């Protein structure tokens, strides 16, 4: 992945911090965990002057129960701090809510 880092150049965000999204389907309530690789999925945006303004992430998510498509959109500043997030077709959930759902649906063995 060295070449990708080279493409981003100096001042690039840390390369190996995955972004974890948890979204709840508005129809069936299933919470889906999505792991986003920022190296591949963050889009660099530029301001009117042509300077890097920040990053945008657009992620389409489908739950495994009713297969409804949700569309999450997150905006980050140049330091990759989250500025805003929105989602169509669902709602953002927390990791705790997701893990609670996992525990209720499929008891894990050997954990």
Positions touching Zn ion (CB under 5 A) are 25, 27-28, 30, 63, 65-66, 68
Q: Is 54 helix (H, G, I), strand (E, B) or coil?
A: strand
CB of 24 to Zn ion, least distance (A): 9
Rank residues 13 and 89 by Cβ distance to Zn ion and give the closer one. Answer: 89
Question: Shortest distance, CB of residue 58 to Zn ion, whole angstroms?
Answer: 20
Q: How far apart are CA 76 and CA 38, in angstroms?
A: 11
φ/ψ of residue 75, rounded to 5: -120, 135
Least distance between Zn ion and beta carbon 26 (Å): 8
Question: Residue 38 in contact with residue 44, Cβ under 8 Å?
Answer: no
Nearer to Zn ion, 38 or 90 (CB): 90
């Amino acid at each position: 992945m060295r070449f990708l880092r080279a493409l981003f150049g100096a001042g690039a965000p840390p390369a190996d911090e995955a972004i974890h999204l948890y979204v709840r389907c508005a129809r069936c309530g299933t919470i889906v965990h999505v792991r986003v690789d920022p190296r591949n999925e963050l889009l660099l945006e530029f301001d009117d002057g042509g300077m890097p303004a920040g990053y945008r992430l657009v992620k389409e998510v489908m739950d495994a129960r009713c297969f409804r498509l949700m569309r999450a959109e997150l905006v980050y500043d140049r330091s990759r701090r989250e500025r805003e997030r929105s989602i169509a077709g669902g709602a953002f959930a927390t990791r705790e809510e997701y893990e609670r759902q996992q525990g209720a649906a499929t008891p894990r063995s050997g954990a």
